[in-house]
Amino acid sequence: MKVICDRSALLEGLNLVGAAAAVRTPRLQLTCIKIVATKTAGAGEMTLAATDAEISIKMSLSHVDVHQPGEVLIPAEKLRQIVGAEEGEATLTLEAEGDALHIRGMDAHFKILGYPAADFPPLPDFRSIVEGGTDKGGVEKIRAVMTHPAGSLSGLVSKTLFATAKETSRYSINGVLFKRDGKRLEMVATDGRRLAIARTNLAGGEKDAKPVSCIVPVKALNVLQRMVQDNEENVQIGITENQILFSFGTAASPGRAVLTSNLIEGTFPPYEDAIPKDFDKKVTFDRDVLLSAVRRAALLTNEESKGVKMTFHGRTKKVEVASRAPEMGESTITVDLTAYEGDPIDIGFNPTFLSDALKVLPDSDVVMELKASSKPGVIRSGTEFTYVVMPVGLN
């Protein structure tokens, strides 16, 4: 294999694909990136691939000069470090010699020892799976295929990922529920103290499509967001019994990158039952105004006093956001509300839980619905986002 490639494009690809490489494992091949160079009808292409046996990424780099096709398997981190260090080079030459890779610039020559490329596990082939069968990667029969713009998909992830459980034995809430019903796509996350639901209509959905759902791990969704380059670029999504696949591409460059992830086993909790419906207080406010007040009040909270007290006044259409921590001090921030319906109420919330939701909302007009100081509050942004948050006790 011998390839001349753009250094910055190669580094970008290594940074992205390297996210799927394992860090600590006895299977050293899983700490590597497989580089495959091909040449068809005079056009050259280089593919980077990595997997930790839970997720895998395969990404194609065009605009490379392939002098000799071939493949090589090289430790991901050392390869990324070397390419990153050659910041003064516009292009780099990669040349395989057995299981080793030579990297040459204008004034530098590196030789990295790798492993036999054949030892790298086969990765799922998206096209084979979508066509309805299994492929050499052992992926099972497809359950559903859908298409949606990358930017909108990333937005759904942003509005839910923060609410996943971080440490719990209930593995089903360590990921995000991905649910398609007809043309409706919904993503849901909860850690038991809050619940985030984001919805949209699929751009490439069928209204009579059968419902399908799965639980996607946090790591895969974090990587998914990093793979978005163009918000309008289409993403094909395939779901099997055990895996979910995301194929990025345009008409000019189909399948430029494919992310595959194992699914989380288990049953997601019945989240619809957790959304209160009997509210008698409705608050309308500006997202940035309340977010600023909550963040400032949170400066005087600690582990013993995690909550901020929110006092809503209907007559003056104001809310006082207050905090107090022993041996630290106290704060009160008063801001205007756009509207308020109902009797005055005092209620405490974890400020981080409020900030997490407010900072991912695209719309400035936000609604909060309340019932009592001991009942959950619900934040809504249009019909596309619902957030349920439990109150906290205040001393």
Residue 43, pLDDT score: 79
Residue 171, pLDDT score: 75
Residue 8, pLDDT score: 95
Residue 96, pLDDT score: 97
Q: What does 247-287 look like in DSSP terms, one character per residue?
A: EEE-SSSTTSEEEEEEPPPS----GGGGS-----EEEEEEH
Residue 130, pLDDT score: 77
Residue 254, pLDDT score: 64
Residue 308, pLDDT score: 95
Give yes or no for residue 168 having a pLDDT over 80: no
Mean pLDDT computed over 295-307: 88
The per-residue pLDDT for range 250-291, each reduced to its tens digit, is 655 667 899 999 999 999 999 998 899 899 999 999 999 999
The H or E element containing residue 84 is helix 76-85
Q: How confident is the model at residue 307 (pLDDT cuts 50, 70, 90)?
A: very high
Q: How confident is the model at residue 71 (pLDDT cuts 50, 70, 90)?
A: very high
Residue 286, pLDDT score: 96
Mean pLDDT computed over 103-110: 96
Quick one: tokens of 4? Answer: 């001349």
Give yes or no for residue 215 having a pLDDT over 80: yes
* Structural domains of the chain in order of their starting residue, each with its CATH number: 2-119 (3.10.150.10), 128-270 (3.10.150.10), 275-389 (3.10.150.10)
Give yes or no for residue 113 having a pLDDT over 90: yes
| CA proximity to 145, closest of 234, 15, 25 | 234
| CA proximity to 349, closest of 337, 357, 340, 338 | 357
Share of the chain above pLDDT 70, in %: 95
